[in-house]
Structure 1
């Protein structure tokens, strides 16, 4: 008497695959689903429950079914999906502007979504992507699990991670910037002005770009012969409130820093507010350096010295890369880092003589 699908071992299913006798109907029977459902999974169609899809895909793999790789699949939706870790308006606007520049040329429409602060997307997000069937997905400051990457790859949905939150796997295409060099350059600028008590307000401790910027800060202090003070190294959230509250703490101590390097321009705005409330003038009493060079940084009072992160260029490069992958091309480089540069304005000056 033949065994039921539940009684069949994985090795037995593998024997069927090797013998080439497993039809889609047989796989459907083993999975306990209909043949059209198996066909949907095999052809990368949406509207299949995650647990069902995973079961069917395992059976398809066991039976040797593989979708043809390296051939571009039509994307009838004409959509390009941008997934933000957080939609911080000023920062996100620059990325959207860069993505739109290329999407417009390619006749694509942007779709925006947010992971609400989560660095990893849930599996239900993959189902949404499959439903929309975009020309490509760009994840900004987010991470993909190995399972999510595998699901997207199995359906020929190209994706690129921009400014990854963690260290992406070797096979994950990514676009970043020289964060370490940016942190080093910002701190070196303050050291050259004569500052020795230099504080830093980075982003979240677990975010790759934040760690790299602080590592650059530490390296600049070390090469400048200044000992790093752990009390002057703080982690924020890349939000205005973090710059304000942490800045106020650092500037309220007796031996306060004469300069602050913030992990982004938004936190620098918070530091400006804290300094004003404490009666400190920028740059006479306190020098401030930001990171990003958002358009608003030139309008702040005084205009902010900052590290320019080419957000528009990064977004354009990410879109071009994901579209190349979607056309089945093999880009010369799947991992890019664009250069940062220091933009000196009026928020930095030598420290007060009395200090």
Structure 2
């Protein structure tokens, strides 16, 4: 059997010291670009693979980060943020262990227990279902990073400001002649066993930001409607968008534009418009939020964009800071991606 190459073999092959090879392969400490390239080239040619278990034993660390997701199956936002976090973690020499709670109490409790069993060094929440379920993580003293939520004390927080993106979206609509504009968002998810849900704040903030942005561009409050719906049920977010979309688009005072609180809700609105024989964007303009699947819809969906890479970079930095730093709070702004789902308001509207 071919003997597996060691880190010492990589160092010798690359012509560097073992400590330099270790810094490159573990992603720790400064190494010149030339030495880094030499070590990586040597590792590739020797087909070297680090022994993670041995590394963990040597440093008494797991090098594991836990990520709690709501439902990557129902909403591609969670798949995108998970992917971005994994890339940043890998660059920092860390591995990621994640799970989707799918808005289920027992699933979340079991997933968090597994994170504890694997000795994760930090837990990134995107997002938790029931706050009370996190008590074992807090009791263990494991650092927690909340994304777009601020429900726990003594945690690191990455807050997302919806105002810049929504303000740009409303300006775009007004410049195209729209005055009757609806906002379709989510409402607080229900804890399956009466626990406190962690969903309401972001949904409420998006709706409030929509109303502020509308007021800033001079829209009449009487022409604005905010509709919310539960989207953690078995029916899924897209169907909720379809149901609410039908209700909105069959009103006598039908809006000329709808801004949705997620791309998946917006996808449901596009389905409703199609069913009702409305052309987007000739009869109706539609804007999503989070820019998670806009390029895959027809027409391509304009959307308020969340900066996934920036969120992930901050999350991993906070995870690595752990409990050594006081609770860190950072706010990141959104932007607006204009695509073909937005057009001029129909004449006479």
TM-score > 0.5, shorter chain as reference:
yes
Looking at structure 1, the residues matched to 60 and 121 of structure 2 have their Cα atoms a distance apart, in angstroms, of: 6
Q: Which residue does 2:187 correspond to in 1? A: 204
Query: What are the superposed Cα offsets for residues 200-242 of structure 1, whole Å, 9 maximum, x if unpaired?
Result: 1112245211111111111122233333349821113451111
What displacement does 1:311 show?
2.2
Contact 1:282 1:347 in 2 (8 A): yes
Structure 1 residues 211 and 287, CA, compared in 2 at 3 Å: closer, same or farther? same
Indicate the residue corresponding to 2:330 in structure 1.
336
- Asked whether 1:223 is paired with 2:208, we answer no
| CA 268–200 in structure 1, closer or farther in 2 if over 3 Å, else same | same
Cα offsets for 1:119-156 (capped at 9, x unmatched): 9997666543321111211111226747945x535533
1:113 aligns with 2:96: no
Rate the CA distance shift 1:181–1:119 in 2: closer, same or farther, 3 A.
Answer: farther
The offset of 1:78, in angstroms, is 3.2
Alignment of 1:233 with 2:216, yes or no, is: no
Unaligned runs of 5+ in 1: 1-72
Structure 1 CA distance for aligned equivalents of residues 133 and 346 of structure 2: 55
One of 189, 203, 220 as aligned partner of 2:172 = 189
Aligned ranges 1:272-291 → 2 under 5 Å: 272-291=270-289
Extract unaligned runs of 5+ from structure 2. Answer: 1-57, 189-198, 232-236
Q: Residue 266 of structure 2 aligns to a residue in which SS? A: helix
Of the three residues 309, 312, 316, the one matched with 2:309 is 312
1:349 matched to which residue of 2? 343
- Give deviations 1:136-193, integer Å, cap 9, x for gaps: 11111226747945x53553322211122xx324522111211234333322322232
Residue 85 of structure 2 is aligned to residue 90 of structure 1:
no
Among candidates 175, 185, 196, match of residue 158 of structure 2 = 175
CA–CA distance in 2 between the matches of 1:284 and 1:183? Answer: 21
SS at match of 1:176: strand
User: TM-score by structure 2 length?
Assistant: 0.71
Pairwise mapping of residues 52-91 of structure 1 onto structure 2 (< 5 A)? 76-87=61-72, 88-91=74-77
Tell me how far apart the structure 1 counterparts of residues 283 and 110 of structure 2 sit (CA, whole Å). Answer: 51
* Root-mean-square deviation over aligned CA pairs: 2.8
* Pair 1:161 & 2:154 matched: no
Residue 206 (structure 2) aligned to one of 210, 213, 223: 213
Per the normalisation by structure 1, the TM-score is 0.70
Aligned to 2:32: none
The verdict on how the C-alpha distance between 1:248 and 1:225 changes in structure 2, with shifts beyond 3 A counting, is: same
8 Å CA contact 2:180–2:224 kept in 1: the answer is no
Indicate if the aligned counterparts of 2:295 and 2:301 stay in contact, CA closer than 8 A: yes
Change (3 A) 1:109 1:217: same
Cross-structure match for 1:5? none
Contact 1:186 1:217 in 2 (8 A): no
Instruction: State which structure, 1 or 2, has the greater radius of gyration over its C-alpha atoms.
Output: 1
What is the rounded CA distance, in whole Å, between the counterparts of 1:123 and 1:338 in structure 2? 30
Matches of 2:212 and 2:155 in 1, distance apart? 29
8 A contact 1:120–1:142 mirrored in 2: no
Aligned to 2:259: 261
Q: Per the alignment, do residues 140 and 230 of structure 1 end up closer, same or farther by CA in structure 2, a change over 3 Å counting?
A: farther
Distance apart, 1:91 and its partner CA: 1.2
Contact 1:143 1:168 in 2 (8 A): no
Alignment CA distance shift 1:273-1:75 (3 Å): farther
Asked whether the 8 Å contact 2:186–2:261 carries over to 1, the reply is yes
The worse-fitting range, judged by mean Cα deviation, of 201-210 and 278-287 is 201-210
Distance 2:145 2:174 in 1: 37
